[in-house]
Amino acid sequence: MYDPTVARLTYRALLGRRRALILGALPLLLIVIAVVVRVLVGADDQTAADLLGGLALATMVPIIGVIAGTGAIGPEIDDGSVVYLLSKPLKRPKIIYTKLIVAIGVTMAFSAVPTFVAGLILNGNGQQVAVSYTVAALVASIAYAALFLLLGTVSRHAVVFGLVYALVWEALFGSLVPGARTLSVQQWALAVGHKVTGGELITSDVSLTTATVLLIAVTVLATWYAGQKLRTLTPTGEE
Amino acid sequence: MTTLNIDHVSRWFGNVVAVNDITMTIGPGVTGLLGPNGAGKSTLINMMGGFLAPSTGTVTLDGAPVWRNEQIYKHIGIVPEREAMYDFLTGLEFVVANAELHGLGAKAAQRALATVEMEYAQDRKISTYSKGMRQRVKMASALVHDPSLLLLDEPFNGMDPRQRMQLMDLLRRMGAEGRTVLFSSHILEEVEQLAAHIEVVVAGRHAASGDFRRIRRLMTDRPHRYLVRSSDDRALAAALIADPSTSGIEVDLAEGALRIQAVDFGRFTALLPRVARDHGIRLLTVSPSDESLESVFSYLVAA
């Protein structure tokens, strides 16, 4: 179910110079902030948790997810080059599955790894804060990549919709409307993170069971549906 | 022997009918799909290539359905109209990737690049390629798996004459090898130079089919209209009407020009400059007034 050639093409498109710059900027910012906070405030578990929760998990992970998830297929559909994949005796779900693996890998590399590094800088993984948020970021990477890969397959405005979801729904709406939090990748990931720390530094509005079921359901359904959409996709012409 | 069967195929988008009940059979050799822009050629080629579902009717390749059948691409090579093609790769990397997606290796890619004579530039990034080089690399990517059917959407668009000739030679060779080659074009001369067999599509309908000479005759035998301005319109009109190649001349006073209807196209085009010279008349404007493709094609539809 994994095609190394599709993966190679996807990696090279995703990590092209301009996109790699955007992908690299946010993690770099997080680490710089972590260093500044550590120098100014010193090692503090609550500050570390606030920063990793507010900046890393709530903002950086979804944005990286949008860039990697939509970027893994959206540009190819937009410019029509996807026709070179579609005109091959390849199962469409295989193309989607491969691109999902790549998108997950890139999202994890550019969000979970810097989260861990920033956590170490902030309080040296005191109370398991760094590890917990890293696990949460890893879990969120999978769901975001699947969700935004689907968005990139069905919409030409995937990046806009993705950012609206990530920033408005997850960050704003979720904090105002309690019910919205149940349907938030961030909260699901926090539930997993909470399990890892065991403490009260990381809390979630959803139970671990609900979170796990929803994470798996969203990932599987999004991936399946993207595969179905690709089966009937018409590459656009010049007209 | 590969035969593509299009059987009573229609395709509409909302209320717009792009392809209207077309039935045709494309066999080995080079076939030209001719029609003005917007006639539905691309829609038809998309359906032939399995990228678009017909609203009604079926497209089959040697009996196997083309739509939703990925395995069919073992036999089809596609050269899309769009330029985009992973510009960050080199030509070689691109063709190798296409070969791998067919389960083939670098050897097949190298052979395809040799066929289109692009080995000399294979290590350059595609983003540095000219239009003609891109087209040839696209051809190579379509040929890696040695397909029996080759579909090309407007392959000559934007190519210079030399590139055009090279590609025509290549397609001729493909046809002579027994492959089924279908290309679309809105330029009659292109199709005429390359394809012995022509399918004409106008406004979504199948307007004509068959030998290019017959279609060419249909196109040239119709009355041609010209708008002519000269230093002495009336003297010119008098001299021209004496010849059987013209069937009517109107002196358009408002325009200050002659409207000439010619029935024998070849003879008239030779006659006009000779008559003008013999009578010492200067020709200021000679323009065919209904030479637009649309009018040529609509004449065909009426025929």
The pLDDT value recorded for residue B164 is 87
Residues of A in contact with B89 (CB under 8 A): 9, 12
Per-residue pLDDT, A239: 38
Q: Is residue A225 part of a domain?
A: yes
User: In Å, how far from its chain's centre is CA B262?
Assistant: 27
For B55-64, what is each residue's pLDDT tens digit? 999 999 999 9
Residue A115 contacts residue A57 (beta carbons within 8 Å): yes
Q: Tell me if A113 is assigned to some domain.
A: yes
The answer to whether B141 and B95 have CB atoms below 8 angstroms apart is yes
Query: Would A239 be classed as within a structural domain?
Result: no
Return the minimum-mean-pLDDT range out of A191-195, A235-239, B222-226, B252-256: A235-239
Facing residue for B88 by CB, picked from A12, A79, A233? A12
**How far is the C-alpha of B241 from the C-alpha of B255, rounded, in Å?**
20
A9 interfacial to chain B (CB closer than 8 Å): yes
What ipTM score was computed for the predicted complex, to two decimals?
0.91
pLDDT digits (tens, 9 = 90+) for B76-106: 999 998 888 999 999 999 999 999 999 999 9
Mean pLDDT by 10 residues, chain B (303 residues): 92 92 95 88 94 95 93 95 91 97 95 93 94 92 95 88 88 93 87 86 87 70 82 92 90 89 84 92 83 60 59
A20 in B contact zone (CB under 8 Å)? no
pLDDT band at A174; cut points 50, 70, 90? low
Q: What DSSP assignment string belongs to B23-48?
A: EEEE-SEEEEEE--TTSSHHHHHHHH
Is the minimum CB–CB distance between B19 and chain A shorter than 8 Å? no
Check CB contact of A239 with chain B, cutoff 8 Å: yes
Predicted model pTM: 0.84
Q: Chain B: residue nearest A84 by CA?
A: B98
For chain A, how big is the Rg over CA atoms in Å? 18
- How far is A79 from chain B, CA to nearest CA, in Å? 6
Under a CB-based contact definition with an 8 Å cutoff, are residues B247 and B240 in contact? no
> Which residues, at least 6 apart from A153, have a Cβ–Cβ distance to it below 8 Å?
A73, A74, A77, A96, A226, A229, A230, A233
Chain A environment of B149 (Cβ under 8 Å): none
Q: Give the three-class secondary structure for A170.
A: helix
Mean pLDDT computed over A109-130: 93
pLDDT at A166: 79
Measured CA angle at B269 (ends B267, B272), to 5 deg: 100
Q: Check A80 against B49: CB less than 8 A apart.
A: no
Which residue of A lies nearest to B46 if distances are taken between CA atoms?
A234
Nearest to A55 by CA among A118, A123, A13: A118
Q: Do A235 and B80 touch (CB under 8 A)?
A: yes
Q: Among residues B226, B213, B265, which one has the least CA distance to residue B244? A: B265
Q: Which two tokens stand for residue B52?
A: 């678009």
What distance lies between CA A39 and its chain's CA centroid?
Answer: 29
Q: What pLDDT shows up at residue A76?
A: 92
Q: Is residue A120 part of a domain?
A: yes
Per-residue model confidence (pLDDT) at position B291 = 53
Question: A66-102: per-residue pLDDT in tens?
Answer: 999 999 999 999 989 999 999 999 999 999 999 999 9
What are the chain B neighbours of A91 within 8 Å (beta carbons)? 70
In a domain, A236, yes or no: no
* pLDDT interval class at A203 (50, 70, 90): confident
Q: Is the pLDDT of residue A195 over 60?
A: yes
CB atoms within 10 A of CB B294: 14
Q: How confident is the model at residue A232 (pLDDT cuts 50, 70, 90)?
A: confident
Residue spans of alpha helices (H) in chain B: 41-48, 91-101, 106-115, 131-143, 161-176, 188-194, 212-220, 233-241, 265-278, 293-302
Place of tokens 């008349």: B281
A238 domain-assigned: no
- Tokens standing for residue B50: 């399995």
Structural domain boundaries, residue A93: 4-231
Work out the mean pLDDT of chain A and round it to a whole number.
91
Residues of chain B with Cβ-Cβ distance to A9 below 8 Å are: 86, 89, 97
Q: CA-to-CA distance for B218 and B216, rounded, in angstroms?
A: 5
Whether A131 shows a pLDDT value over 90: the answer reads: yes
User: What spatial distance separates the first Cα and last Cα of chain A, rounded to whole Å?
Assistant: 35
* Integer Rg of chain B from CA: 23
How many structural domains compose chain A?
1
Is A50 inside a domain boundary? Answer: yes
The answer to whether position A237 is within a domain reads no
- CA nearest neighbour of B183 among B237, B222, B135: B135
3-class secondary structure per residue, A1-49: CCCHHHHHHHHHHHCCHHHHHHHHHHHHHHHHHHHHHHHHHCCCHHHHH
